[in-house]
Structure 1
Amino acid sequence: MNSPANRTFYIETFGCQMNAHDSEKVIGTLEHEGYRRVETEEDAGLILYNTCSIRDKAEQKVFHRLNEYKRMQGEGKQFAVLGCVAQQEGEKIFERAPYVSLVSGSASYRNLPQMLDRLQAGEQRITGLDDRQTDETFDTEFTARSNPHRGYITIIEGCDKFCSYCVVPYTRGKERSRTSESILAEARRMADQGYTDIQLLGQNVNSYRDPSLRMSFAEVLAAVAALPGIRRVRFTTSHPRDFTRDIVEAIDTIPAICDHVHLPVQSGSSAVLKAMQREYTREWYLERISWIKNATRDISMTTDIIVGFPGETDDDFEQTMSLLDVAGYDAVYAFAYSPRPNTPAITMEDSIPEEVKSERLQRLLTAQRERQRVSYSRHQGQIMDVMVEGYNRQRGQITGRSSQNKTVNFTTTQPILPALGSYCQVRVTATYPNSLVAEAVSVR
């Protein structure tokens, strides 16, 4: 058993930014309960895996990782599986990996202190599951933020969209929004602690509905951006069905709201979108793209695309390819379709051969890379603000990120390097498909 004298833990996180932020909450809770974080599994008394089930064979990867450390079972270590795979697989995890002591979905993280007490008392099979329909948000009191300058705030959890390929509604539960008051209170605390860049998170962040009926999503963006000390406000991920014009208007008129929108389309074909149960058409999506393109600011757009969904014809795929030119994305995160457990699409005949999926994926990625080369070139000679994130001493460059969420590598003639988290004004001197090169103009 993990004795009070050896309350050490190691945590490994798989998946998206929401999972990363979930881990920050888990870490904060563990540290408040007297645990100390260590860097390796060998040094830990408690080993936690915070899992994601979006990608193909995610649960197999988790069990493979657990099996790798089965040898540690005799060393008195305890194991916990958290997150989406935990919620998806439930108590079956105990059957396949009997040395696991704790299985918990994200909606139960607020109960972690009690579960940890039971773990310390010697209980062998503790579950925090089936709490996905609660109207309580899963916000926890303690968060150990990994970045002292940029931080996340989850404003909505879960999903009510039920896309036919997606496991999120089954692992994260129904949509549950926090009150605008609690969001702003957390944002104020972060600003007081020196955070200047805040990212609002949700499976469908713009589906936010204030339980207190005080603010729309766009108004929450504006309110966070107005807080003293906050220089950048980001949000992800948006769903086209709930993407409203006032969001674009807020970005266009409030400089602190970053000029970047990630708006997953998944397919350019209305027929495939219908099969995916995305609740919008190609035309609906393109109308929202037109709002973004007609803004005064140059708003960067990125998206997610699935190729090879069951029934996708050559013509359907070509309609997706045509979106690359129509929308002018600055990045596309594309994947070949793979069936996920417990989703409606798993009953569809996966009629697209794997080699066809692979060929379509490569065609799309190759075409998008060339378009990004052209798209990024528009920044040549521009002056922009960059938040300093790190240093590449081998190249003699400082690494940062622009308001459009683009990587910028720049140099400075100043003898002292700018501090992490500071903002530099730079002039772009070269462009590449995934990054910009610049030279510092001033630091402030």
Structure 2
Amino acid sequence: MADANGKIAEKTFYLETFGCQMNVHDSEKVIGTLEHEGYRRVDLEEDAGLILYNTCSIRDKAEQKVFNRLNDYKKLYAKGKRFGVLGCVAQQEGERIFERAPYVSLVAGSASYRKLPEMLVQIERGESRITGLDDRQTDETFETEFTARSNPHRGYITIIEGCDKFCAYCVVPYTRGKERSRTSTSVLAEARRMADAGYTEIQLLGQNVNSYRDSEGKRSFAELLAAVGEVEGIRRVRFTTSHPRDFTRDIVEAIDAVPTLCDHVHLPIQSGSSRVLQLMQREYTRDQYEERIAWIKAARRPISMTTDIIVGFPGETPEDFEQTIDLLAVTGYDAVFAFKYSPRPNTPAITMADSIPDEEKSTRLQVLLDRQREIQRANYDKHIGQILEVMVEGRNEARGQITGRTSQNKTLNFTTTQPIYPAPGSYLPVRVTKSFPNSLVGEAVI
């Protein structure tokens, strides 16, 4: 709450997160920073003195979603609440947010989060229109020891922030700034702290995680990946998201050599047509992408592959789309995250003629999802009879099942004959007895 001068007297905060894993982990670090500065987190906007929204601008109408949320709660401003908009929409819209929502006190992009303590002091003094913007050319990353991790067993480490790829459809380089990597020394120190705290699974994050460049010059991305996997106490290491241009063979070699590295690679293709890839400014061809798929398929242990695809990009012909459908059969993905193209602010594609009707985009999307579902059903069927190790995540009381996840990042729901349910975070061997297109069913092997 704030006093008559607009100063926050009770240091409580509410934070809602929109978007990707990067945003989720950013929020964990923001929460930790706030708590270190003496704030207490609450579960409802009504109970908070400071209301924050950590925003994402990747999807269509993302900005409107944020402004709708602000509008829903603007009445609380009269009760002394203060509002802040963080993240990609904050960086994209900038001070225009103050014009559209004058009750907002703070607008800060992710590149300025390291200055949060200073900005909090300004809020506490009752200042308005506090900005953390235009810092996208910084070489500094947001590192803090006060991360408030939401899962006690699985945790994230951001190793690279920003993006230099400038794909034609993507707003990230304009909202998160240029690529800047942490030192491998700091990453490994955080991994060891997490292991000492009882974490057994680590996921390395970055807009393009494999574009990592160690400023100390000590380790390549593959070498850092292996080093994290060798930290005592760590049983699983994941990484996302990779860019095909920087995906090198030594990454696959590291997965083969270090058992703790999970056998799963998420490698966005976006389109199966080299012509469309060129329009998208992806800086690789279909042949180059298939070469990387061949490296993965040649690994000594089966590696699950997933991807992202955009349908209906400006200029995509029916023939281009058929090449994307053909690629599904070539690669045999275990999952595809597919979306209809929508123009985003400040991106090169916004000047392209978006001549494909939305109805046609929807048709293409459904065709792709139907085809992928067939492929996934066949892929998941292959696991029947296998014994897979799962990390326990929780229980589905309605079904009487325990929920877990395999090294390949597949959901495996299972039962056990033991009278005591296994604890979340524990690891168990489970025999697969049944499959669905998006999950597996099994029985614990005790």
Do both share a fold (TM > 0.5)? yes
The residue number in structure 2 matching 1:153 is 157
Q: Does 1:429 align with 2:430?
A: no
Structure 1 letter corresponding to 2:291? E
Structure 2 letter corresponding to 1:51? T
Aligned with 1:379: secondary structure?
A: coil
Structure 1 letter corresponding to 2:63? E
**Cα distance, 1:130 vs structure 2:** 1.0
Alignment counterpart, residue 18 of structure 1, candidates 18, 22, 31: 22
The residue number in structure 1 matching 2:348 is 344
The residue number in structure 1 matching 2:282 is 278
**Cα distance, 1:141 vs structure 2:** 3.6
Aligned with 1:65: secondary structure?
A: helix
Q: Does 1:241 align with 2:280?
A: no
Paired residues of 1:110 and 1:138 also in contact (CA < 8 A): yes
Structure 2 letter corresponding to 1:155? I
Q: Distance in 2 between the 1:43 and 1:422 partners?
A: 35
Q: Distance in 2 between the 1:393 and 1:343 partners?
A: 46
**Cα distance, 1:57 vs structure 2:** 1.2
Q: Does 1:37 align with 2:41?
A: yes
Q: Does 1:369 align with 2:391?
A: no
Structure 2 letter corresponding to 1:176? R
Aligned with 2:26: secondary structure?
A: helix
**Cα distance, 1:394 vs structure 2:** 1.7
The residue number in structure 1 matching 2:58 is 54
The residue number in structure 2 matching 1:193 is 197
Q: Does 1:69 align with 2:64?
A: no
Structure 1 letter corresponding to 2:440? L
Q: Does 1:311 align with 2:315?
A: yes
Q: Does 1:183 align with 2:187?
A: yes
Q: Distance in 1 between the 2:352 and 2:68 partners?
A: 28
Aligned with 1:235: secondary structure?
A: strand
Q: Distance in 2 between the 1:271 and 1:328 partners?
A: 22
TM-score, normalised with respect to structure 2: 0.98
Q: Does 1:92 align with 2:101?
A: no
Paired residues of 2:113 and 2:142 also in contact (CA < 8 A): yes
Structure 2 letter corresponding to 1:397? Q
After superposition, give the CA deviation of every residue in 1:186-212 in whole Å (9 maximum; x if it has no partner): 000000000000000000000000000
Q: Does 1:257 align with 2:256?
A: no
Paired residues of 1:156 and 1:176 also in contact (CA < 8 A): yes
Give the unaligned 5+ runs of structure 1.
none
Aligned length: 442
**Cα distance, 1:132 vs structure 2:** 1.2
**Cα distance, 1:7 vs structure 2:** 1.1
Q: Distance in 2 between the 1:18 and 1:124 partners?
A: 28
Paired residues of 1:165 and 1:344 also in contact (CA < 8 A): yes
**Cα distance, 1:390 vs structure 2:** 0.5
Q: Distance in 2 between the 1:249 and 1:379 partners?
A: 24
Paired residues of 2:208 and 2:242 also in contact (CA < 8 A): yes
**Cα distance, 1:5 vs structure 2:** 4.6
Q: Does 1:401 align with 2:401?
A: no
Alignment counterpart, residue 116 of structure 1, candidates 116, 120, 128: 120
Paired residues of 2:8 and 2:49 also in contact (CA < 8 A): no
Q: CA RMSD in A?
A: 0.8
Structure 2 letter corresponding to 1:27? I
Give the unaligned 5+ runs of structure 2.
none
Q: Distance in 2 between the 1:428 and 1:159 partners?
A: 40
The residue number in structure 2 matching 1:169 is 173
Q: Does 1:288 align with 2:296?
A: no
**Cα distance, 1:131 vs structure 2:** 1.1
**Cα distance, 1:415 vs structure 2:** 0.7
Aligned with 2:445: secondary structure?
A: strand
After superposition, give the CA deviation of every residue in 1:402-441 in whole Å (9 maximum; x if it has no partner): 0000101011111111111010111001010000001111
**Cα distance, 1:140 vs structure 2:** 2.7
- Structure 1 range deviating more: 295-304 or 65-74: 65-74
Q: Distance in 2 between the 1:4 and 1:286 partners?
A: 56
Aligned with 2:46: secondary structure?
A: coil
Paired residues of 1:109 and 1:140 also in contact (CA < 8 A): no
Q: Distance in 2 between the 1:96 and 1:274 partners?
A: 37
Structure 1 letter corresponding to 2:156? Y
Structure 2 letter corresponding to 1:28? G
Alignment counterpart, residue 273 of structure 2, candidates 248, 266, 269: 269
Structure 2 letter corresponding to 1:105? G
Paired residues of 1:191 and 1:227 also in contact (CA < 8 A): yes
Paired residues of 1:248 and 1:295 also in contact (CA < 8 A): yes
Paired residues of 2:204 and 2:239 also in contact (CA < 8 A): yes
The residue number in structure 1 matching 2:142 is 138
Paired residues of 2:33 and 2:117 also in contact (CA < 8 A): yes
